[in-house]
Structures are given as C-alpha cells and as structure tokens.
Structure 1
Amino acid sequence: MEASRGWKRYHTVWVWLLVAWMVSGADRSISGPVVTWMIQNKVSFMLTSAHPYALGGLIGSVFFTAYMLTQFPGGYFGDRFGYRRVIVVSLIWAGLATLVNGFLLTLVGFVALRVLTGLGEGLYYANDRTLIAEVTPFEKRSLGMGVVIVGLALGITLASLLPPYLINWGNYMFGTNEGWRMPLFVLGLATLLWGVLIAVYFRKQHTNRVAYTTTLLGIGRYTVVFFVAIMIVFVVCDRIGIPSWLASVIELAFAVVLILFVFFNKGRELAAVVRNKDLMLINVAGIAVLWNLWFFGFWAVSIISDAAHSSFLQAAVTAAFNGVAGILGFPAGGWLADYAVRRNWGRKGFLVTFTLIQGLLTCLLGCYMMVGGHSIVLMGVILFITSLFFNALQPMMHAMVGDIARPKQRGAAFGMLNLFGETGAVLSPALGGTLRDATGNWTAAVLLDAGVILFSFLLLLFVNQKRGEAAAAWAEESLRG
C-alpha cells in the first residue's frame, strides 16, 4: 500500500499530461496573435477581405468548429480503444498539422491546416480528463484536474509572449512579412516531439496494445466528413461574402446534427450521459467557459492594443496575464473543490460563486472600456483577477462531471461537455470580430461575454449532483438489464 504522502505514480501521469496541455494549448492559441499580426502588417492573403477582423474571427471559428466536432468522437473512442492511445494520436496529429501550416502561403491552405489542427486537438480533452479520473484517488480528483490543466494556462501564456520574438526571428530567416510562419514551426515541432515521447512512456507503463491504425480508422470516419464540411462552409462564406457571425451559426448546425446523432443513434448505449438532466445542465453552462476562454484567447492582444493604444509587444505581455492567472487559479480551484468534498459541502457552492464573481468582473472590464478607460496596467490587473476565478472554476466543473458520470462512460461524458462548450468557442471569435468591425471598439464584445457568463451562473444553480449520480447509476443498471 502506498504511503499517504510523497510522490505517487499518478503524479507522474499528471506531469506528462500537463506538458501535453502546454504544447497543444500553445498550438491552438497561436492563431489569435498570428492573425492579429497579419492584419496589422497587411500580409497579402489577409488583404482579400474588406473586413479583416471579421475574417480573422472566421478563421478562429472554423478552427474551433473542428475542435468542437471531435470532442465527442474522441471521448467515445477513448472509452473503446483506450484513453492513452487517443491522447498520443491527438498530439502527433496536431503537431504535424501545425508544422505543415507554416509552409502554406495561401488563405485556403492556411485555414485548411488550422482545421486539421483543430480536428486533432479536439481528441485530447475528454481522454485527458478521463485518464486523470481513472488514476487519481477520488479525494484528489479536482486537484489533479486543476494541476494538469495548468499546462493550458502555460500554453496560452507562451502563445501570447512568444509570437513577437518568434515572428521577428522569422522575418530575419524567411524575409519581411513572412515571420508569422516561425511560431507555427516551433510550436508544431514541440507538440510532435512530446507526442512521440508520451507514446514511449505509455507503452512502457501499460500492456494494452490496441493498434494505432485501428484507432485512426475509427476516428477517421468522422474527421474526413467534418473536414470537408467545414472547408466548404469557409470557402463559400469567403467567396460570396457571408458575414462571419452567420458562418459561425451555420457551423453550429454541425454540432446540432452530431448531438442529435448521439441522442438517436447512441441514446440507449449512452443514456447515462445524454439523458442525465444534471449533466446536460452542466454541458449547457459549459458553453460560457469556452466562449470566454477563446474570446480572450483569440482576441486579448487586439483588445488591449485597441483600448490602451499600445504596441503589439506591450499588448501581448499584458494579455499574458490572462494565461498566467491559470497557473495559480487551476490548482487553487481544484484544491478548494476537494476541500469542500472532504467537508461534505459538495463542489457546487464554490463553482456557482466563482462563476458569478467572474461574470461581474468581466462586466467591470467592459464598463471601464465603455467610459474610455485606457490604462494598460489597470486592464492587466482586472484581467488577472478575473482569470483567477475563471480558471479556478474549471476543475470544479470537470470534477463534478467525473463524479456524476459512470466510470466506463466518462470519456463520452467529457466529450459531450466539451462538444457543447466548444459551440461558445466557435461563436465568440467571429461575433467578437464582427462587433469590433461594426462598433469600432471591443466594448460590446466584452459585455456580451459577461452576459453569457452570468447566464451560465443561473443554469448552475439548478444542478443537483446527488440526483445526477443516482440517475446515471439507474441508467447503467437499466442498460445491463
């Protein structure tokens, strides 16, 4: 029996997954700073649109559409083929796609590789969350989820801080206005290498030998269809001038179709997930989490730069506070949720309180911008404190899903959570960019973000964890019967 203190085997798994979050998180976050730099420096293929910020938002939306659509298949196939196997596939896939992205110098080529990156990265989340729940003691589950997802905060921070330096290096290596390729080369290579290393680690630790080809074939049936559909929407919208917000609504139809497919085709098999009222309330509330995360993840540099009239580098450094706060917020939130469990309070109290505080602070930022506030220091402080609460609430929500879902269907449950959540990530970059073009500033987009968060708070008030756990257990027993 292991001692109660000291380094445990599950701590090692946490570290591997944390670094994986860091490299993959940097890959998915790099789009915003790179696109912002392209717009500001008039890179040729970004000049094809009269509304460059809306085009930039559309690029972000198609990426997150891809990321959204493989959330559920990733978790479902993780339940079938093994969570470690799908994690490896996700990292190597995303790393290769990001690396190749730097070689393509056309708008359609750039977007196509961003879509492929999103499809690969979408496989990771559900399997990471499920593997943590599998290897970690129940009383430390929230802490584990919080510690591991610190890697995402580190990745977002790197994606905010590194682009100015990597782009300058790229301009020196490849020529003026070609420097945007360097961040893609560097971050893609890092993700690819970590994918290979974690594959070696998992192989040494476990004897499950499901072939990678079997996993790829299972996932590939979905991803080929998703890729073709997303690219058709992008090309049509770009060629005939459909507004980016309308394109995002069209893309959301893909999520609706996938959700309906799960309900009607997998409804009996996954009844403990898709027919659980409390899981579904958390799923809908989770839309606000991904809306906020990728609204600021994609546009934070531009928001700070516009409001404070600062340079690209100053705005990038300030926006990095949003990611730095996750380094503290994620594990702190996980520890608090586990402490609440040990005291028999449940995780919900902290979750709803932190969601309310985050919504009110985001509203404060929008109001400050509305009255003409332009202090880069004050905006950095507000972003940092808001992000502390935002990052702290995420492991609380994840652990609640892990508690309610049955062990054999946690992958599907986490995949469904992020499938719903990523609809927010699809909408927020495009709507944010559209509102920026329409109003000339970011105030309306920030206030809309605050409203979405406060609506999430209202939904979470109705979640009953014990009721959800009982419903999941009953559904599982019915399926066995």
Structure 2
Amino acid sequence: MKAAPEDVPAPDPVTGGGSRKGAVGMAGRLRPWHSLWLLLLLGWTVSAADRAVTGPVVSWMIDNGVGFLADADNPHALGGLIGGLFFAGYMLTQFPGGYLGDRYGHRTLIVVSLLWAGIATIVTGFLGGLIAFIVVRVVTGLGEGAFYSNDRTLVTAATPPRDRSLAMGVVITGLAFGITIAIVGTPHFIDVGKWVLPDVEAWRMAFWILGVATLLVGLATTWYFRTHLQLRTVCLATAHLGAYAAVSLTLVMAVYVIGDRSGLSDLWIAVLEVALAAGLVLFALARKGEELGPVLKNRDLLLLYLANIAILWNLWFFSFWSVSIVAGAAHSSFASAALTAGFNAGAGILGFPAGGWLSDHGLRRGWSRKSIMLSCTAVQALLTVAFAWYLGAAAQPSLWVMGVLLFTASLFFNALQPVGHALTAELAPPDLRGSAFGMENLIGETGAVLSPAVGGVLRDSTGSWTAAVWLDAAIVAAGFCLLIGVRSRKSLPG
C-alpha cells in the first residue's frame, strides 16, 4: 500500500520542503506547513473540547442532583462509565481511521472526522435519557477516533524532519486549549443555558456551543483542503468509516446492555469494553497480519503502544475528574474548582510546544528522543506522587497548592507526548504511519476507557479521590518502565 498522493508535501518554492534551510523555525519567515499546523491545532482544540466536556457536565449533574445521575446509587461510578464508553467508541476507530487514511487520504479523513464530531456533539444537547445520551456519546467518539492517526501522519509528511517533533507539539497544543476550554468554560456555558432553558436542562448549552464551534472548524478545514478533496472519495471514506462505526456501536452497546442487565458493576462493564478492543486487535492481526506486520510486530513500536496506556490513563483521569477532585478536596464552588483544575489542562499550552522543541533540539545535539521521554515521565511521576500525598495529608488542601502541583506535573506530562509521537513516526514505515498511529492510540485508549470508570469506583468506595490519584501515579511509573526497553536513534532521520 502506498501513501496517499495528497499527503506528499509540496516543496517550498524557494528552498525546497526537505532542505535544512527550508526548515527555518517559527522565528523565520512562515512556510507552507505552518498554516497547516495552525489549522490542525484548531481541529485538535474543538475535538478535545467535545470529548472533555462530558466530565465537567457529569460533575455538575452530580453536584446539582439533576438529569440521569440524580437517582444513581453510585453517581461517580456511573459518570465514569459514561466517559469510558465514549472512549470505547473513540478507541475502536483509531486503527480503522488510520488505515482508511492510508487508503483514501489523510486530509479526507480529517474532514470527515471534524464534521461528524460537530454534528454528533450538537445532537447530544437534544437528548436526555441515559441510554440515548450514551449512544450519541459513543457515536461522537467513533467519529473523533479517525482524527488522531491522520493528523499525526499528515504533520509528519508535511514537515521537514528536523522540525518534526516541534510540529507535533505545536499542533497538539490544541488538545490543551480544548480541554481547558471545556473545563473552565463549562460553568459559563451552563450559565448561558439558564437564560433560555430551565435550570435543570442548562447543561445542554455546553454541547450546543462546542458542537457548533466544531462544525465551523470542520467547514473551514474542508475549504482549506478543497484542492485535495473529491466528493466521491469523501463519500466513500464516510461510508467505509460509517460501516466500521456501525459495527463498533453495536458491539459497545451490546456489551453495556448485557453487562447492565446481568448486574455487572460499572467497572466490570468498562473492563469488558477493553476486552472487546483487544479482540479487535487480534482480529486485525489475523486478517491483515502480513500487510500490517511492520507496525504490529515491531518490538519498539509495541512498547510505545503499551506505554501509551499510561499516558492516556493520566490524561483522561485528570481531564474527566479534575474538577471533582479539586472541589471535593477543597470544598470549593464548582466554578472555583473548574478554574483550579484548568491549570492541569492549561499546562499543555506551554508543555506541548516546549517538549517538541526540546526533542528536536536535543536530537541535533546527540540526545535520543527516548531519553527525553524518560526524563519527563520520571519528573511527572514524582509530582503526581506529591499531589496524591498532599491530598491525603492536608486537612484542608489549598486551591493554590493543588493548582501548582497540577500545573507542574502536567507541564512535564504534556512535554513528553510530542516526543513520543515523533519517535513513533520515525520507527514506523512511511506508508504505514497512519496505521501505526491508529494502533498506538487504539491500545493506548485502554487507559482512557478505564481511568474515568476506575477513578469513579474508587471515589464512591473510599469517599475521597486519594486512592485514585495514587493509582494514577503507579500507572505512570509503569509506563516509565516500559519506555526503558524502547530503542531509538540519536541522530536526525533521513
């Protein structure tokens, strides 16, 4: 399989796309790939906000005793399961999304993903029942799942190798913007909703505002990529992704309904959803093992895939529950807790590009990307341990202290991610990068599926968030151990 022609970067008319001179940084004149970075950053922003908004909305429902969480016996466990089911959908189209991007073109799949997510997020605001809410959240995740692998592949193809990690970091800064907007903005979106809706229904406005924003960015992306898009190809890609999504939705909801009617706990249902994803990985190995062997059987890539479980566990544990963690520890208002929790997400605005720059700079000085990832992970683990200890030791935790600890831990955590993305791009064959990124996120999303549910269960069973944060620190440490076994070069790729 060859990479889609649309994803081969056009050389700069003056210097040539792959030359060292053409890779002048952001301080020099703008290059064609810089506008692509900005567009994809906006895509990350709205996509991340759409998926992160569920956590603050669920926390608000629990605090105010409204919606389908009003009468739940274990509201945090149920709320965590809802978040986990979203990521069950999100993870199941990671690999198909990358595979289809390699086939139909990565720009095509990015457009399809953004438009799909925008429409589904708007629809979420019109639904109220538990099952309907879960279904549309899973559908949203299924569409958004196609974005990551195609974005990472397109950035890799369009950016000179010497700036590859910087590009990864700049673009994925949109993740930090989006999560921050969702966490800090949700109380205000709900206040806007109270102007036009009954107070108990005001949460719907958060989905409408963010859904419309996603749709607008999707339309802008369609216009920007218009010379690379063909209506027939877009329709074929949408139909093919839709077929994968229909099967995945059926499987995810079947597991949920059967588990719920069998009396299984919310945690066990989440575990079964992960088992479903593992089954699909084995299915991919059986059907396309020879074609995809270079990304499925590569030892170093496999270790990165597994380490990504710890990365996404930490990311979505704090993104989903940070407002509730801060509010419960400090006994503060929802708005104050959201603002403090925003430090965790906001750190990515600095951490992502800084990590990307440091990775490229370090590689030119003879460092390896692996050593940079290990250093960032070690510091993050120590700071997470400090946060867990503080939650358990302080009689009345301070909002300021929690904000500083969340910010500094997240700074190093976000810095390591673009380093890992660049390392994955270098280890994977160029014509299978979409599949490699898809498989990495499919396996990694195991952490995103389990962390909201496990965190919610531990909160309901212990009465505090301390145990859940200690578990997060242990999982980060396990990710560090996996990264030790990865082999990486100490020079720029060709």
Q: What is the CA deviation profile of residues 269-310 of structure 1, one whole-angstrom value per residue up to 9, with x for unaligned ones? A: 011100100000000001001000000000000000001111
Q: How is 1:35-434 mapped onto 2 (pairs within 5 angstroms)?
A: 35-204=58-227, 206=228, 211-373=233-395, 374-434=397-457
Q: Which amino acid aligns with 2:39?
A: W
- Matching residue of 2:40: 17
1:208 offset after TM fit, Å? 6.1
Q: Which amino acid aligns with 1:147?
A: V
Q: Which amino acid aligns with 1:111?
A: I
Distance 2:337 2:248 in 1: 35
Deviates more, 1:240-249 or 1:349-358: 240-249
1:176 offset after TM fit, Å? 1.6
Kindly indicate whether the alpha-carbon contact (under 8 Å) linking 1:79 and 1:408 is maintained by their aligned counterparts in 2.
Answer: yes
For 2:290, what is the secondary structure of its paired residue? coil
Unpaired segments of 5 or more residues in structure 1? Answer: 474-481
Distance 2:208 2:345 in 1: 22
1:341 offset after TM fit, Å? 1.4
Kindly indicate whether the alpha-carbon contact (under 8 Å) linking 1:299 and 1:429 is maintained by their aligned counterparts in 2.
Answer: yes
1:372 offset after TM fit, Å? 2.9
What count of residue pairs does the alignment treat as equivalent?
469
For 2:289, what is the secondary structure of its paired residue? coil
- Matching residue of 1:438: 461
Unpaired segments of 5 or more residues in structure 2? Answer: 1-13, 16-21
1:209 offset after TM fit, Å? 6.3
Calculate the aligned-residue CA RMSD, in Å. Answer: 1.6
Kindly indicate whether the alpha-carbon contact (under 8 Å) linking 1:95 and 1:189 is maintained by their aligned counterparts in 2.
Answer: yes
TM-score by length of 2: 0.93
1:254 offset after TM fit, Å? 1.4
Q: Which amino acid aligns with 1:198?
A: T
Deviates more, 1:116-125 or 1:218-227: 218-227
Deviates more, 1:215-224 or 1:175-184: 215-224
Q: What is the CA deviation profile of residues 185-211 of structure 1, one whole-angstrom value per residue up to 9, with x for unaligned ones? A: 00001101111110111013x366652
Distance 1:439 1:430 in 2: 14
Q: Which amino acid aligns with 1:89?
A: V
Q: Which amino acid aligns with 1:97?
A: A
1:232 offset after TM fit, Å? 2.2
Kindly indicate whether the alpha-carbon contact (under 8 Å) linking 2:305 and 2:439 is maintained by their aligned counterparts in 1.
Answer: yes
Q: Which amino acid aligns with 2:302?
A: M
Distance 1:238 1:380 in 2: 37
- Matching residue of 1:476: none
Q: Which amino acid aligns with 2:314?
A: N
Runs of 4+ in 1 over 6 A off after TM superposition: none
Q: Which amino acid aligns with 1:95?
A: G
Distance 1:115 1:218 in 2: 18
What percent of counterpart residues are identical? 52
Distance 1:232 1:48 in 2: 24
Distance 2:406 2:394 in 1: 17
Deviates more, 1:232-241 or 1:118-127: 232-241
Q: What is the CA deviation profile of residues 117-166 of structure 1, one whole-angstrom value per residue up to 9, with x for unaligned ones? A: 11011110000000000000000000000000010100000001111111
For 1:211, what is the secondary structure of its paired residue? helix
- Matching residue of 1:478: none
Distance 1:65 1:293 in 2: 15
1:448 offset after TM fit, Å? 0.3
TM-score by length of 1: 0.95
Kindly indicate whether the alpha-carbon contact (under 8 Å) linking 1:81 and 1:210 is maintained by their aligned counterparts in 2.
Answer: no
